[in-house]
Amino acid sequence: MSAKDIPFSMLDEDTIAAAALHRDPYDYAYVDRAIGLQHKEAVLADAPQIPHRGSYGLPSLRYGEKFGAVIKDLLSPRFERLVENKFDMDLSHRHRCIVMMGATTGHYNEGYAHPDSRHKIVTVLLGFSREWPYERGRLRVLRSNDREDCAFEFPPEFGKMLMFRVCDHSWHGFLPQKGQRASLQLCWVDSEWYVRKEYLRHSVSAFAKSIPPLRKIIELAPRKLPGMN
């Protein structure tokens, strides 16, 4: 059996394949249940524990077998083929980068609107929050760089997936909300150099956030502006 023929152990292939592709305001698809609820407790028990604000690169995270099975599905040729079919594109020569967010502070500078780096090709977001009961903090698909100019909201709850084609107007962001906002981001990018740079940047940031005085400075610092990554 080839790698492309190995079935998923966690992802729901039929549901992901059937998700509608929306063209307005840019190409995106939403999957309400990309992972079946029967896996929820086991996966969350094995998920990384991230108490601080910001994103952490996959190599810096510790997690168990069931969460690792989700990662294996996401990095498989089978999932790549699903994404290629969804957006009618070839990703076979692209590189992949995974980062994960665990919590938000509700500070004003979180969730700023941005279109994603020009080095990214496709972004896939997968929720791992046990629940998200808040009105704010849902990722917004935006029509502009105004966070109120919203076309769709994505709650970062377990098993929910949002994928979109990155372009100069793929604006997205969220209104600040304090909470355990666990969400994984998988991106196909244009170079191995960019992957190494992102993992190094997140590794340095993770180390800084492990030191309380530095963590406080990071929490109060302005977020980078769109285009800087």
Residue-wise pLDDT tens digits, 92-131: 999 999 999 988 888 887 899 999 999 999 999 999 999 9
Please check whether residue 222 is in contact with residue 142, taking contact to mean a CB–CB distance below 8 angstroms. no
User: Looking at residue 122, what is its pLDDT?
Assistant: 98
Q: Mean pLDDT, to the nearest integer, of 195-215?
A: 68
C-beta contacts of 190-195 below 8 A and 24+ residues apart: 190/94, 190/95, 190/119, 190/120, 190/121, 191/95, 191/119, 192/95, 194/95, 194/97, 194/117, 194/119, 195/95, 195/96, 195/97
Q: Mean pLDDT, to the nearest integer, of 63-79?
A: 98
Largest CA-CA distance found in the chain, in angstroms, rounded? 52
Predicted structure pTM score: 0.88
With a cut of 50, say whether residue 228 has pLDDT above it: no
Q: Which residues contact 107 (CB under 8 A, 6 or more apart)?
A: 53, 176, 219, 220
Please check whether residue 143 is in contact with residue 103, taking contact to mean a CB–CB distance below 8 angstroms. no
Please check whether residue 55 is in contact with residue 202, taking contact to mean a CB–CB distance below 8 angstroms. yes
Closest Cα partner for 19 from 79, 70, 86?
86
With a cut of 70, say whether residue 212 has pLDDT above it: no
Q: Please give the structure tokens belonging to residue 41.
A: 């407790």
**Is the omega angle on the peptide bond into residue 176 within 30 degrees of 0, that is, cis?**
no
For residue 77, give the H/E element and its range: helix 77-87
- Report the chain's mean pLDDT, rounded to a whole number: 89
User: Looking at residue 222, what is its pLDDT?
Assistant: 54
Q: Please give the structure tokens belonging to residue 120.
A: 């990214």
